[in-house]
Amino acid sequence: MSQGALAAAAGVAAQAARRRTFAVISHPDAGKSTMTEALALHARVIGQAGAVHGKGDRKGVVSDWMAMEQQRGISVTSAALQFSYRDAVVNLLDTPGHADFSEDTYRVLTAVDSAVMLLDAAKGLEPQTLKLFEVCRQRAIPVITFINKWDRPGQDALALMDEIEQRIGLRPTPLTWPVGPAGQFHGVIDRRTKQFIRMQRSPGGADLAIEEEMEAGEAQARFGGDWDTAVEELDLLAMTGADHDQAAFLAAASTPVLFGAAVANLGVRQLLDVLIELAPPPAARPTASGDQQPVEGSFSGFVFKIQANMNKAHRDQVAFVRINSGRFERGMIVTHGGSGRPFTTKYAQQMFGQDRDTIDEAFPGDVVGLVNATALGIGDTLYVGKAVQYPPLPSFPPEHFAVIRTTDTAAFKRFRRGVEQLDAEGVVQVLRSEQRGDQSPVLAAVGPMQFEVATYRLEAEFGVKVQVQHLPYEITARTDAAGREILRGEAGIEVMTRVRDDALLACFPNKWRMRSVAGRHPGLRLDP
Q: Which residues partner with 400 through β-bridges?
A: 445
CB neighbours of residue 359 within 10 Å: 17
Averaged over 218-242, what is the pLDDT?
95
b (16+ CB within 10 A) / e for 133-153? bebbeeeebbbbbbbbbbbee
Distance of CA 40 to the CA centre of its chain: 16
Averaged over 59-79, what is the pLDDT?
51
pLDDT above 90: residue 386 = yes
What number does CATH give the domain 400-520?
Answer: 3.30.70.3280
For domain 285-383, give its CATH number from 1.10.1740.10, 3.90.1150.10, 3.20.20.140, 3.40.50.300. 3.40.50.300
pLDDT for the residue 180: 97
Q: Is 97 annotated as a binding residue?
A: yes
Question: What does the alpha-carbon distance between residue 156 and residue 160 come to, in Å, rounded to a whole number?
Answer: 6
Phi-psi category of 347—alpha, beta or left, where left has phi over 0 and alpha has psi -120 to 50?
beta
> pLDDT tens-digit profile of 198-229?
999 877 666 788 899 999 999 999 999 999 99
3-state secondary structure 236-255: HHHHCCCCCCHHHHHCCCEE
Q: Is 479 annotated as a binding residue?
A: no
Residues 6+ apart with CB under 8 A from 418: 457, 458, 461, 462, 464
Phi/psi at 438 (nearest 5 deg)? -70, -20
> Around 404, how many Cα atoms within 13 Å sit in the side-chain half-sphere?
31
pLDDT above 70: residue 495 = yes
Domain 24-75+94-278: CATH superfamily is P-loop containing nucleotide triphosphate hydrolases (3.40.50.300)
Averaged over 179-191, what is the pLDDT?
97
pLDDT above 50: residue 53 = no
Q: Classify residue 396 by its DSSP letter.
A: P
- In the predicted model, what is the mean pLDDT of the chain? 88
Q: Identify each DSSP E strand in 387-441 by its residue range.
A: 400-405, 429-432
Q: Which residues partner with 441 through β-bridges?
A: none
pLDDT above 70: residue 463 = yes
pLDDT for the residue 57: 39
Distance of CA 86 to the CA centre of its chain: 24
Answer whether 310's CB lies under 8 Å from 67's CB. Answer: no
pLDDT band at 55 (very low <50, low <70, confident <90, very high): very low
pLDDT for the residue 51: 34
pLDDT for the residue 37: 85
pLDDT for the residue 128: 79
Question: What does the alpha-carbon distance between residue 245 and residue 235 come to, in Å, rounded to a whole number?
Answer: 18
pLDDT band at 447 (very low <50, low <70, confident <90, very high): confident
Answer whether 440's CB lies under 8 Å from 424's CB. Answer: no
Q: Is 142 annotated as a binding residue?
A: no
Question: What does the alpha-carbon distance between residue 480 and residue 314 come to, in Å, rounded to a whole number?
Answer: 41
What percent of the chain shows pLDDT beyond 70?
90
Residues 6+ apart with CB under 8 A from 264: 151, 201, 202, 205, 209
pLDDT above 70: residue 353 = no
Domain boundaries, the chain: 24-75+94-278, 285-383, 400-520
pLDDT for the residue 213: 94
The CA radius of gyration of the chain, in Å to the nearest whole number, is 25
Question: What does the alpha-carbon distance between residue 516 and residue 475 come to, in Å, rounded to a whole number?
Answer: 14
**CA 125, 127, 132, 135 torsion-angle sign:** positive
Q: Identify each DSSP E strand in 86-232 by its residue range.
A: 88-94, 114-120, 143-148, 171-174, 176-179, 187-190, 196-200, 210-214
Q: Classify residue 99 by its DSSP letter.
A: G
pLDDT above 50: residue 54 = no
Q: Is 95 annotated as a binding residue?
A: yes
More confident residue, 45 or 408: 408
Q: Classify residue 121 by its DSSP letter.
A: T
pLDDT for the residue 28: 81
> pLDDT tens-digit profile of 6-40?
888 899 999 999 999 999 988 888 888 889 888 88
- In the chain, what are the helix, strand and coil shares in percent, each to the nearest 5? 30, 30, 40
pLDDT for the residue 272: 95
pLDDT band at 436 (very low <50, low <70, confident <90, very high): confident
Q: Three-state SS for 103?
A: helix
Phi/psi at 375 (nearest 5 deg)? -80, -10
Same fold, 24-75+94-278 and 285-383: yes
User: To 5 degrees, how large is the angle CA 68–CA 69–CA 73?
Assistant: 120
